Amino acid sequence: MPELPEMETYKALLSKKTAGRTITAVSVERPKSVNMTAQQFIEQVSGRTITGYDRRAKQLLFLLDDGRLMALHLMLGGWMFYGREEDKPDRTSQVILSFGENQLYFMGLRLGHLHLYTQDEANQVFAELGPEPTAPSFTVEAFAALLSSKRGALKTKLLDQSIIAGIGNCYSDELCHHAGIRPDRSIGGLSQADYAALYRSMHAVFEEAIQYGGYMENPLYVGDTLTGGYNDRCKVYDRENQPCYRCGQPIVKEMLNSRKMFYCSNCQR
């Protein structure tokens, strides 16, 4: 599932491709992927110009010239491709936005969606989300105070979007490994030094992951050499039984509340 770095990658690449461009046509092949009837969505989005992009948690925001926005949540299995029809991957598209000769294809939206909101509607939808982990206002003191007020396993709380927005299964494990702390540690046993280490690691991991295009490997367009570059740089995620880059011990895979968890049993305390 795309997380904060993946959506930041889409944000950067789509800004170069489509910001300032007008949506010349819209196709909705799966009405459940939008939050109104397919015809209403087509009528209200066609002819609109994308003025820019933003991101909230794991959602990419398409900012429109009438003040509204489209919020994309790819969920599990969702991805995008921008280009000509002949270059498109052999996958079914649920929604297609046309920009003249090129199209933006939204694929794998079985669980995901592309919703059209007014700004007030978007504010209501996003009100239940926690703070952005890399926002300047989200200080190490705020991070420690927020997590220390919770109970349960560290990874479980990092995944809770109402606590901190944008962290998912991959990067919760990656930042815990960077900090040298097991993802299943009880929050009640964490010290202020642990919180400081986790906070530093959160910023370091996200910075590197964004720099290298996130871990999802499907290219956004023909010639895209950025998307997915972080996949080979993951230190623990999806590396079961492979040696830890820090100490050489094999990476362990376990399940925590029905979610995969990867860690090094030797160098994560």
Give yes or no: residues 50 and 72 share one domain: yes
Catalytic position from the list 3, 6, 8, 174: 3
Give yes or no: residues 99 and 196 share one domain: no
Q: What is the pLDDT of residues 168-207, one digit of tens each?
A: 999 999 999 999 999 999 999 999 999 999 999 999 999 9
259 catalytic? Reply is: yes
Residues 6+ apart with CB under 8 A from 85: 103
Q: Quick one: pLDDT at residue 174?
A: 98
Rg of the Cα atoms in the chain: 20
Q: Which domain holds residue 61?
A: 4-126
Catalytic position from the list 17, 30, 259, 260: 259
CATH of the domain at 243: 1.10.8.50
Instruction: Note whether residue 135 is domain-resident.
Output: no
Instruction: Note whether residue 134 is domain-resident.
Output: no
Residue stretches of the chain with pLDDT short of 50: none
Paired sense of beta strands 79-83 and 69-73, if any: unpaired
Report whether 83 contacts 103 (CB < 8 A).
yes
Q: pTM for the full model?
A: 0.95
Nearest Cα neighbor of 181 from 153, 209, 204 is 153
CATH of the domain at 122: 3.20.190.10
Q: Quick one: pLDDT at residue 254?
A: 98
Determine whether 188 is exposed, middle or buried from the number of CB atoms within 10 Å of its CB (0-12, 13-18, 19+): exposed
Give yes or no: residues 164 and 218 share one domain: yes
What 3-state DSSP class applies to 162? Answer: coil
Domains: count for the chain: 2
Catalytic position from the list 2, 133, 183, 219: 2
Q: Quick one: pLDDT at residue 269?
A: 87
Catalytic position from the list 11, 48, 58, 157: 58
Instruction: Note whether residue 74 is domain-resident.
Output: yes
Give yes or no: residues 119 and 155 share one domain: no
Q: How many CB atoms lie within 10 A of CB 109?
A: 25
The domain boundary residue, chosen from 126, 149, 167: 126
Q: What is the pLDDT of residues 77-89, one digit of tens each?
A: 999 999 999 999 9
Q: Quick one: pLDDT at residue 148?
A: 96
C-alpha to C-alpha distance for 70 and 117, rounded to whole angstroms: 6
Report whether 219 contacts 202 (CB < 8 A).
no
2 catalytic? Reply is: yes
Q: Report the alpha-carbon angle 32-109-56, nearest 5.
A: 100
What 3-state DSSP class applies to 63? Answer: strand
